A and B are shown apart, each in its own frame.
Chain A
């Protein structure tokens, strides 16, 4: 194979990685701030795809509006669900918060997935494309414009989120709660509001991911499982020390997978990726980019 083929593989992996980074960012945010190992994350990705489909196809809105609407709906759904489920659980307290919330999100994923199946049926709802046309980046491979736009949206959302966490008062409050809840409460931050916000933001990111990739992955009740697995994969690989680690991790996994499926065939893609992650974790049990700060997620 020549240099251009490698470049094509690299590009494909990069485009794929943008989505993984966006999904994993939300996952590590929820784990980092409220210690919830979110197993319904893929279902919000699925809801985002449905919302975008209904906005774009049924209501006939523009692509940008459809994706933003999906994000807003994902935010609202996340805020509601956090209040309804994790509020009562937190009030009861108890030592096994991480495991209990893990089980609750498993139940939630079952409810959302089968609820979507009951409501919208098992057929695929896709669109031919938000934007038409394609692009060439140096090589002979032409990339559909939609794919590039989806990548751009993912990068945009990641950047916006990064600025929000780093530069705004609310973003700083989120980081404060993640580091020390009692300390944050002493400074007049309401931890309950911040937790709710963090959860809603993470589901919003997942919904945006689902919405912006609608033309590649049509909406379907079971589409979340794959996305969930991939985002957990990224989070475990990159480590949970900091939210930012999910971003390089996402790109790494995207590139790893494209090369894996090129050299070993797509049926072996998952086996290859999992073997690699197992090897890495043998030597770095806390993930590739883990910081030395521990204990945030395990109380």
Chain B
């Protein structure tokens, strides 16, 4: 199949990967390493989110819930079935992918904003299920989850997440650069024109949702075993908004933009932590400003600069 033949990194991406590896070895400060893990985690989420929003033009507003679904499945299969967290993560990803596929089937006949709202409803249902199924999830009391690694140091955890993030980037990039990716863009630009060119929107939309929910679930599994305690709160819409803001600040349809935005925005916000709610007000204002004045985000600005130069 030609679709997956292009599993390579571009030179800037290779440079970024090398930089992250070197930084992971050189930096000894636990606090900074933790910040790097969080930035990488959010950056990977933003890439997965962009794979749907930036390409087929449907915002998966239940994104955090799919991530949470993966987290819960992974945590529960580690607790109940005694599965290793490394394996449980992939099980969580699989279940999230299947539910993502079902959501796509549900929303196939709906266009644009309706599909978005529907995915939001599905996310809210998952959230209320996680809260209501107390015997299974312990509800809002929280579930304590076996850790990924015995050691409490951050460096091994960073190197556990880095390959996952690199894999996600490589797979998503390969898909978006293949004919499948072209079909995604065509659907996102103009669904009628895409249909007229012989593209079956239903097939590509469900494929896209399945892949992005699969990876969201995988990241959720990592999160569950990384943090060690899981509450339904992780599925809240506000978490989707955080990821969405990063993806759009980075630039829609670029994949790497969200990752770059995460490494720029998250450390700054960590620094602003003493400001409490004002920090989130700034976050909202940032999203508004980007949407009004820089709609194509960081990646779009860079591309424009390159064209001028």
The interface of chain A, by Cβ under 8 A from chain B, is 37, 85, 88-89, 92, 94, 96, 98-100, 102-104, 106-111, 114-115, 117-118, 225, 229, 232-233, 236, 267-268, 270-271, 274-275, 277-278, 281-282, 285, 297-298
Contact = CB atoms under 8 A, between A and B. Distances in A.
Given A104-B291, A107-B245, A298-B111, A281 B118 contact: yes
Contacts of B293: 88
B305 to A, nearest CB: 19
A107 B287 contact: yes
Given A37-B116, A107-B286, A277-B121, 15 more contacts: A85-B292, A103-B287, A107-B245, A108-B284, A109-B284, A110-B241, A110-B287, A111-B288, A114-B278, A118-B276, A268-B128, A274-B122, A278-B118, A285-B110, A298-B112
The binding surface of chain B is classed by DSSP as: helix
Contacts of B295: 92, 94, 96, 100
Contact of A118 (B238, B241, B277): B277
A158 to B, nearest CB: 23
The binding surface of chain A is classed by DSSP as: helix
Contacts of A106: 241, 244, 287
Contact of B124 (A89, A114, A274): A274
Contacts of B16: none
Given A85-B288, A100-B295, A104-B288, A117 B129 contact: no
Given A99-B112, A114-B277, A285-B109, A107 B132 contact: no
B106 interface: yes
B288 A107 contact: yes
B116 A268 contact: no
Given A102-B113, A114-B280, A267 B131 contact: yes
A102 B59 contact: yes
A225 B237 contact: yes
A107 B291 contact: yes
A267 B277 CA distance: 30
Nearest to B109: A285
Contacts of A104: 287-288, 291-292
A275 B286 CA distance: 36
Interface string B121-152: 11011001101100000000000000000000
B309 interface: no
A270 B292 contact: no
Contacts of A271: 125, 128-129, 132
Contacts of A109: 284
B285 A111 contact: yes
Contact of A98 (B112, B124, B284): B112
7 contacts: A96-B295, A104-B291, A110-B283, A114-B277, A281-B118, A297-B113, A298-B111
Contacts of B303: none
Contacts of A232: 117, 120
Contacts of B276: 118
Nearest to B57: A99
Contact of B125 (A274, A285, A298): A274
Given A89-B291, A106-B287, A110-B287, A270 B124 contact: yes
Contacts of B241: 106, 110
Given A102-B59, A107-B284, A118 B113 contact: no
Contacts of B129: 271
Nearest to B132: A267
Nearest to B189: A95
Contacts of A225: 237
A275 B131 CA distance: 17
A118 B124 CA distance: 26
B280 A110 contact: yes
A114 B128 CA distance: 23
Interface string B212-247: 000000000000000000000000011001001100
B22 interface: no
B25 interface: no
Contacts of B122: 274
Given A102-B113, A267-B131, A267-B132, A114 B121 contact: no
B159 interface: no
A63 to B, nearest CB: 31
Nearest to B111: A298
